[in-house]
Amino acid sequence: MSSGAFDGKIALVTGAGSGIGRACAMLLGARGAAVIVNDLNAETAQATVEAIRAAGGRAEVAPANVARRDEVTAAVNAALAALGGEIIDVLVNNAGVGSRRMPIEDIDDDALDRMLGVHVKGAFHCAQIVLAGMKQRKAGKIVNISSAMGTVGGRSGSHYAAAKGALLGMTRTWARELAKWNIHVNVVAPGGVFTAATATIPNYADEARTRVPIGRFGQPEEIAALVVFLASDEASYITGQTVSANGGEFIH
């Protein structure tokens, strides 16, 4: 994929203040996209923007809670205007919240609402922001970030698995519904990935050596490479698919 594969395009990446989202935003910026960087944390979002600009790219910040429709719509539209654009060409729905391992009985309504609000409602809100422009142009790429827990489940934390699983069904339905406008929708479901959040989990690296055939968990940049491929013109015949980068831990 050439370094200017996204020249002239605008990408919205949610949850891009750190981890996989930041890696996606950085790579899209390096490949020529002007990037709208969303995160609940305005400081980390701005840090990603500054890093993209320092590397010679274009970016604007859109700090907002994706679970709140009015808030994220206003922030994204302001960033889009600042970039001088009218249409968002690429959407990466990455914003999410993690969870400690919790048995079913310990998951209260607040925890359930927060999990579904960010992962599911947030993805809906952002898709609704970008779709009018994509339909007008008859082109667009949406990549949702799920998790291997959404495909195979986990030992606990079923509210997280439920939210990530919902993204799989949404992706497949959106892909069918939007195909006539040449809008491609896919979902990436990573296995274990080293981020600032997962680095705090006790014995996380040791688990990788026993669980993952290649002997390690992934890096955010490895997931970003897959996401950016699916968002590119090179993936022009791929839609409605779930791709799991997991080092061979889960083979479907």
Which string of DSSP letters, residue by residue, matches 166-190? HHHHHHHHHHHHHGGGTEEEEEE--
| pLDDT higher than 90, residue 231 | yes
Helix pair 158-178, 109-116: axis angle to 10 deg? 30
Which residue range forms the structural domain that includes residue 36? 10-243
CA end-to-end span of the chain:
27
135 assigned to some structural domain: yes
Share of the chain above pLDDT 70, in %: 95
Percent of the chain with pLDDT over 90: 76
Is 251 part of a structural domain of the chain? no
pLDDT at residue 163 is higher than 90: yes
Can you give the CATH number for the domain in which 195 is found? 3.40.50.720
Give the span between the Cα atoms of 14 and 114, in whole angstroms.
Answer: 16
Are 58 and 82 in contact by the 8 Å Cβ rule? The answer is no
pLDDT band at residue 92, thresholds of 50, 70 and 90? very high
Give the pLDDT score at 200. 65
Indicate whether 212 belongs to any domain: yes
- Residue 193 counted as domain residue: yes
Mean of pLDDT values over 187-210: 78
Question: Catalytic residue among 6, 160, 194, 217, which?
Answer: 160
Least confident of 2-11, 27-36, 203-212, 221-230: 203-212
Nearest residue to 13 (alpha-carbon basis) of 138, 144, 114: 144
pTM for the model stands at 0.94
160 is catalytic: yes
Per-residue pLDDT at 3 exceeds 80: no
Q: Is residue 3 part of a domain?
A: no
**222 pLDDT tier (thresholds 50, 70, 90):** very high
* Confidence (pLDDT) at 201: 67
Angle at the Cα of 240 from the Cα atoms of 234 and 246, rounded to 5 degrees: 80
The total domain count for the chain is 1
Residue 250, in any domain of the structure: no
Predicted local confidence at residue 2, as pLDDT: 60
Of 4-8, 128-132, 216-220, 222-226, minimum mean pLDDT range: 216-220
> 10 Å Cβ neighbour count for 15?
28
Residue at 5 is within a domain? no
Partners of residue 58 on adjacent β-strands: 34
